[in-house]
Chains A and B, each alone.
Chain A
Amino acid sequence: MPAVRVRFEDLAAGDEVPPLSRMVTREDVKRYADASGDHNPLHQNDDVARAVGFPRRSWSRRAVAIGRPRNRRFNAIRSPR
């Protein structure tokens, strides 16, 4: 599903942002962690993730912050598990 362009100026309270569907790869996880400055090894290294009880490196929830603006305030949506 392609991303929909939404301009900040056009948002109003109660608007709904259309869903965005995307396959996330391991490379995406690392690229996002590097670009955001999130150096938690949970996002970088499968061995670390397994050592603390995850099946594999975890995907930062931040990257999928889509939601419903309410006074130009978004609630981040939980990433799929």
Chain B
Amino acid sequence: VKPAKVIAGVILVVISVALVAVGRYHFGPKGRLTFDPRTSSRSQGNPHAPIWVVEYLDYQCKSCALSVPIIHEFMSKHPGKVYLQLRFHPLPRAHRHAIRAAIYGECAAKQKKFWPMHNLLFEKQDEWGPSESPDAFFNRYAVQAGLDDQRLSACVDDPATKTAVMAERDEGQAIGVKSTPTFFVNGKMSVGVIGLKELLEAQSGQKGKEPT
């Protein structure tokens, strides 16, 4: 190995590392996950729990629907130890009704009926997902969830609701959320449902043990 080549190689590696550092500074994730009081109506569990789970979701994403029973089972196994907070991260390029579904979710949250609406949106994903205009389905779920019709219409038609949803998505993007579902379990990021169980068990310290 010629010393000149090694020196050139080392210089190129150093330049590459520097470029990545500069790139990350300009284009990389900005800021950290922080507590968001706006999502309190989309939260479940004990806020003082040792395990904090924040999920960025898209209602038209299949994996997000698969994560619902995983989280539910984990919370049932560890009562009082988990705090779950849901944040919207619609991906309209992949899912054309994702923003609209998130708007309905947000409006349900404003009426303190978020969880029944949330569950219905995921349960009936195959029903409203392929439709051309999903509002009729959403309105039917809203009735089932017990939402006030007039307040719902006003909220859904209010441009501020969409702005709030999109702002939440932008905040997710800023901290590095690119796809859904993305979880932060005590601040540790996990993308998709495959690594979720592993991460939850690791955080609970219950790995390899029977749930108590």
Q: Do A and B come from one complex?
A: no
Interfacial residues, chain A to chain B (CB-CB below 8 A)? none
